[in-house]
Amino acid sequence: MPENTRLSGSIDQIELGFVEREATPRLLMKLGIQLHLAGLSLSNTVSILEIFGVERARSTVHNWVHKADLQPEAGRSPDHIAVDETVIRLNDQQYWLYAAVDPETSELLHTKLEPTTTKVLAHSFLAELSEKHDVSDAVFLVDGSHSLQDACQRHGFDFKYEKHGNRNAVEHVFREIKRRTVCFSNCFSNAEAETADDWLRSFSFAWNQLI
């Protein structure tokens, strides 16, 4: 599928129901949201909007992304699911990012940002995942995370330990998330964890549209 088709299709799925009084044309708002989530920094996104005669602050674009409340489409039925947890930094504090990826498509199925990692939080993450998608027949691919292995057992999910192979998909996604949070740290500067969690779900939406 051509990249411009993917981009326009993604833009069409961005809802702007939060808009009440906004001088920016809706198409340019959607373009700003999509460009930022697709990889442009807030500064570069603002520069693109200026080409169309629209001058907006970086914080305005950030608020558009946050208020649009984008997230991955529900209702998937994957055969395999790679799940993992990794550390990202937010305001010099360490947080744990839980993520589930379909290794066949590299789509992000669900993400959750937590201040720590425990068996209870891993169980909650898989519970949310199972509410969004049909995972009853899926095989979960788990690395060395004891909390995720325990959560799979408690849910009765079929899982197996796998360090490489199909797990390369989730590792690739994690590398991209970490690259984005480092390169575009202005998204997370002085932000609350809840805001960062919302941004990660929005990133997941854009990632799934563009892969």
- How far is Cα 115 from Cα 179, in angstroms, rounded to an integer? 20
Number of CB atoms found within 10 A of residue 111's CB:
23
Q: Which two tokens stand for residue 53?
A: 């005669």
Cα end-to-end span (Å), the chain? 10
Does some domain include residue 125?
yes
**Three-class DSSP category at 96:** strand
Q: How confident is the model at residue 37 (pLDDT cuts 50, 70, 90)?
A: confident
pLDDT in tens, 100-112: 999 989 899 999 9
Does some domain include residue 197?
no
Does residue 94 share a domain with residue 64? Answer: no
Does residue 87 share a domain with residue 51? Answer: no
| pLDDT(120) > 90 | yes
**Three-class DSSP category at 55:** coil
Q: Please, which contacts does 6-15 make with residues 24 or more away whose CB atoms are closer than 8 Å? A: 6/209, 6/210, 7/34, 7/38, 7/209, 7/210, 9/209, 10/34, 10/205, 10/206, 10/209, 10/210, 13/205, 13/209, 14/68, 14/70, 15/68
Does residue 184 share a domain with residue 87? Answer: yes
H-run or E-run covering 141? strand 139-142
**Three-class DSSP category at 40:** coil
Does some domain include residue 75?
no
Does residue 168 share a domain with residue 90? Answer: yes
Does some domain include residue 15?
yes
Does residue 113 share a domain with residue 59? Answer: no
Q: Which two tokens stand for residue 51?
A: 């080409």
CATH code of the domain covering residue 105:
3.30.420.10
Of 48, 68, 88, at which residue does a domain stop?
68
- How far is Cα 57 from Cα 53, in angstroms, rounded to an integer? 13
Q: How many domains does the chain have?
A: 2
Does some domain include residue 57?
yes
Report whether 203 contacts 37 (CB < 8 A). yes
Does some domain include residue 206?
no
Does residue 33 share a domain with residue 9? Answer: yes
The alpha carbon of residue 44 and the mean position of all alpha carbons in its chain are separated, in whole angstroms, by 21
Say what the pTM is: 0.79
More confident residue, 17 or 138: 138
184 lies in which domain range? Answer: 80-189
Does residue 156 share a domain with residue 62? Answer: no
pLDDT in tens, 43-81: 899 999 999 999 999 988 888 888 888 888 899 999 999
